[in-house]
Amino acid sequence: MPEPAFYQCPHFSPDGSRLAYSVSQGSSMDLWIYDWQRGSSARLTNGLDATYPVWSPDGQFVVFQAAGGLFWTRADGAGKPQRLMQSKGHPLPTSFTPDGTRVVFSELTPGAGAEIRTMPVESGSGQLRAGEPQVFLKTAALLAFPAISPDGRWLAYADAEAGSYEVYVRAFPDNGTKVQISNAGGTMPVWSRNRRELFYRTEDQRIMVANYTVKGETFVADKPRVWFGKQLANIGLSPNFDLVPDGKRFAVLMPAQSAEPRETQSHVTLALNFFDEVRRRTTTQAK
């Protein structure tokens, strides 16, 4: 989508063929889906102030946040959005478990901080139904951005225990231990599905990556490194990048070249075969 607009929360479908995103239109924020092959866009909501779209693993549903709680809608646009969970705590969905049986989200709690919660869901007859949410972890961060690993064994999230956001990983279900991934601030973790890599964003809008290994029940992370040195569009604490499931493309929101303030516009850029570029840069630096 090269045209400038106030985009937020890009999220690839499980097969990577479509991109869900939020875009501000007038006084409201609505969800759209962009089809890469057809080059076409379809609107999913109308005036709901909808944001934070997350796909079900089968690609049939999109769960999102709107006033009053969580909603779901058919990804093909059939039917109208339906309420999944009512809440005054501003829940923000960010992940499904790989088997599609639970939605993971963060929700503000009275006082300070938030809780990472999981909610059982089941689908049938073109509908999505939810059970009672359960608390996974209480955090000091208002926005924890919890993300389940592709194998379903780990949960990455952001916390602000020391006053600044850092990225951590815990076992899923939680066994009480955590591993810090970022070392100089970080938020919005995103897992690679076909490589042992975990991406995240810094406060100055740059993408970092950390390789990791799993040894039995232990998660071991390498020192993070800069993956993309250019600054992304600054849209506050809203997601501004996502990794396609096949690991060959990366969608990022970049500042639009405009006379308007940088924070008011962005455009979506698709980076192709970026691992080839990483290898090229690594080889060049080694020389």
Which residues have CB under 8 Å from 178's CB, separation 6+? 168, 169, 170
Residues facing residue 187 across a β-bridge: 201
pLDDT score, position 285: 40
- pLDDT value at 12 more than 70: yes
> CA-to-CA distance for 98 and 63, rounded, in angstroms?
15
Taking the domains of the chain in order of start, what are their residue ranges? Answer: 7-286
Please state which CATH number belongs to domain 7-286: 2.120.10.30
50-71 pLDDT, tens digit each: 999 999 999 999 999 998 899 9
Rounded to whole angstroms, the Cα distance separating 86 from 130 reads 11
Residue 282: pLDDT band (50, 70, 90) is very low
Distance CA 138, CA 282 (A): 39
Average pLDDT, the chain: 88
- Asked if the model's pLDDT at residue 163 lies above 90, the reply is no
What pTM value is reported for the model?
0.88
Tell me the CA distances in angstroms from 45 to 11, 63, 74, 171, one per residue in order.
Answer: 16, 12, 11, 35
pLDDT for res 110: 81
Between 127-136, 137-146, 197-206, 248-257, the lowest mean confidence (pLDDT) is in 248-257
Lowest mean pLDDT among 35-39, 117-121, 140-144, 208-212: 35-39
257-286 average pLDDT score: 45
pLDDT (mean) for 88-109: 95
| pLDDT (mean) for 148-152 | 97
Mean pLDDT of 269-273: 47
